[in-house]
Amino acid sequence: MRQLVAGNWKMNGSCRQAATLAEALRGEAGLACDLLVCPPFTLIDRVAGLLLHTPVAVGGQDCHAQAQGAHTGDISAEMLAELGCSAVIVGHSERRQDHGETDAEVQAKVRAAVRAGLTPIVCVGETQAQRDAGQEVAVVRGQLAASLPHDFAGVVAYEPIWAIGTGRTPTSDDVETVHRHVRAALVERLGQGGRSVRILYGGSVKPDNAAELLRVPEVGGALVGGASLSADSFLAIARAAA
């Protein structure tokens, strides 16, 4: 299975910066991995237009569980699909923390994404305190059990919260341990279908650590925050993918 390198731009980027980044990505051919960028809502239309007919896919960073209605400030999965998105991140730790999103809400968003024809990328991961207490596997398994529908088809991203934007990463062995548990949990839940779910690693992936992280067994790609804001560093990570 090809690895997936996904860029989460978060709340960054002007129209001009987004256009420059998209132009640089569209020129890249022959990568051995799949590429996805997730700009903020305001830039999706522009970026999707620039990346139309290129191998670079576009996704959202979140969606509402409902298709439409009185939900001020929210965006539905159907709206993302209409703009040309093929995927959406759900349950990112910043959404869980900043907006109090629960596993049940994440599961509803996963269903919404699938209803709209999008691939959900479901984020799970432990806090520093949970890692210090040796609870990372239990936390991640609990999040998966509560966030994934029984017929889940999508992508899982393991993102230890303490590694996001900090420049710190788990060791390769630690990443492998959690990813093996994620795989086991997926197979327990989905049967053989659980074997084909890509499991991304996310948290301070940079050009200088990407090759090592992407080589870890059961790592099916990377979810990249800060380093996805520069075409040079994002593409360097993509070139490190198998």
Residues designated catalytic: 92, 159
Show the site string, 36-75: x = touches ligand PEP by CB under 6 A, - = not.
----------------------------------------
Alpha-carbon span 221 to 104, nearest angstrom: 26
Show the site string, 120-159: x = touches ligand PEP by CB under 6 A, - = not.
---------------------------------------x
What tokens appear for 207 in the block? 């050009």
Show the site string, 8-37: x = touches ligand PEP by CB under 6 A, - = not.
x-----------------------------
DSSP letter at 40?
A: -
Sign of CA dihedral 85, 117, 35, 89: positive
Among 170, 221, 225, 235, binds ligand PEP (CB under 6 A): 225
Q: Number of residues interacting with ligand PEP: please give it, by CB under 6 A.
A: 13
Q: Give per-residue burial for 50-86: e unless 16+ CB within 10 Å, then b.
A: bbeeeebbbbbbbbbbeeeeeeeeebbbbbbbebbbe
Closer CB to ligand PEP, residue 90 or residue 227? 227
Shortest CB 160 distance to ligand PEP, Å = 10
User: Counting Cβ atoms within 10 Å, is residue 41 exposed (0-12), middle (13-18) or buried (19+)?
Assistant: middle
Of 67-75, 140-148, 173-181, 219-227, which segment contacts ligand PEP by CB under 6 A?
219-227
Closer CB to ligand PEP, residue 203 or residue 221? 203
Does residue number 164 form part of the binding site for ligand PEP (CB under 6 A)? yes
CA 235 to chain centre: 16
Sign of CA dihedral 24, 4, 144, 68: positive
Q: Are 101 and 91 a contacting pair, CB within 8 Å?
A: yes
Does residue number 91 form part of the binding site for ligand PEP (CB under 6 A)? no
Closer CB to ligand PEP, residue 82 or residue 232? 232
Does residue number 6 form part of the binding site for ligand PEP (CB under 6 A)? no
Instruction: Report which residue's Cβ sits closest to ligand PEP.
Output: 225
Q: Where are the beta strands (DSSP E) in 74-154?
A: 87-90, 119-124
Alpha-carbon span 241 to 89, nearest angstrom: 20
Shortest CB 122 distance to ligand PEP, Å = 12
Does residue number 170 form part of the binding site for ligand PEP (CB under 6 A)? no
Q: Are 5 and 238 a contacting pair, CB within 8 Å?
A: yes
Closer CB to ligand PEP, residue 78 or residue 201? 201
Of 29-37, 181-189, 217-225, 233-241, which segment contacts ligand PEP by CB under 6 A?
217-225
